[in-house]
Amino acid sequence: MTDFAGKNILVLGGSRGIGKAIVQRFAAGGGRVAFTYAGSAEAAAALAAETGAEAIRADSADRDALVATVAGRGALDVLVVNAGVAMIGDPLTLDPDAVDRMIDINVRGPYHAAVEAARHMTGPGRIIVIGSVNGDRMPFAGGAAYALTKSAVQGMVRGLARDFGDRGITVNAIQPGPTDSDMNPADGPMAAAMHGFMAIKRHAHASEVAELTAFVAGPHGAMITGSFQTIDGGFGA
């Protein structure tokens, strides 16, 4: 595959799970790929060795570090903001500091990274945030704080698409449903309940989400903007 040959690509949160699959997909397409990580140094080093991508430690909750990392990549062709965490539980007992950190990573991070990427883009760039079908639908208790972060991504995508559209920059969210990863293992305790909400009763593979991401990021995605591309096995249907 050469569909991303020579493209300057940054994936925020690429060491594991969906982000890792996205890094692998862009690298296989010939892209010049860098990715960030926060805690998983070993996994990041292994992925860098496997793909030739550059691993950068940068905590998405640290705005200054995040903005400096994005600016340091210069004129990006593609920014993917995948870094995200999920705090699920009774809102009366969830640690409020942990909830605020989730909001920092899932909402503030994508916004500031997207704006900084657009500041430096010189061509028809692509900005993609990995949101969630939970931005549309939260069918179980305990997900309010997580859902609010993914709904916030939708508002950001709508607005920034209009801010940057006249420069040919597209801004979109990919919205996975249950996807096999450390965050949401296909054999985890919640799996059967999640499959109950789905038309296709299995977790997605991270590579399936990566393939959709690559389509939106590629040359055929030029007219896709301000949109939410849902890949959820019918979870939200």
229 touches 174 (CB < 8 A): yes
146 is catalytic: yes
38 touches 60 (CB < 8 A): yes
Is the CB of 178 or the CB of 222 nearer to ligand NDP?
178
Which of 53, 56, 85, 87 contacts ligand NDP by CB under 6 A? 85
Chain centroid to Cα 85, Å, comes to 11
Question: Environment class of residue 224 by beta-carbon count within 10 Å: exposed (0-12), middle (13-18) or buried (19+)?
Answer: middle
| Marked catalytic residue, from 146, 164, 197, 228 | 146
Which of 170, 184, 225, 227 contacts ligand NDP by CB under 6 A? 184
Binding residues among 42-61 for ligand NDP as defined by CB under 6 A: 59-61
- Assess 18 for contact with ligand NDP (CB under 6 A): yes
36 touches 16 (CB < 8 A): no
- Assess 154 for contact with ligand NDP (CB under 6 A): no
Which of 8, 17, 107, 112 contacts ligand NDP by CB under 6 A? 17
Which of 19, 31, 221, 233 contacts ligand NDP by CB under 6 A? 19
- Residues forming the active site: 146
Residue ranges binding ligand NDP (CB under 6 A): 13-19, 36-40, 59-61, 82-86, 105, 130, 132, 176, 178-179, 181-184
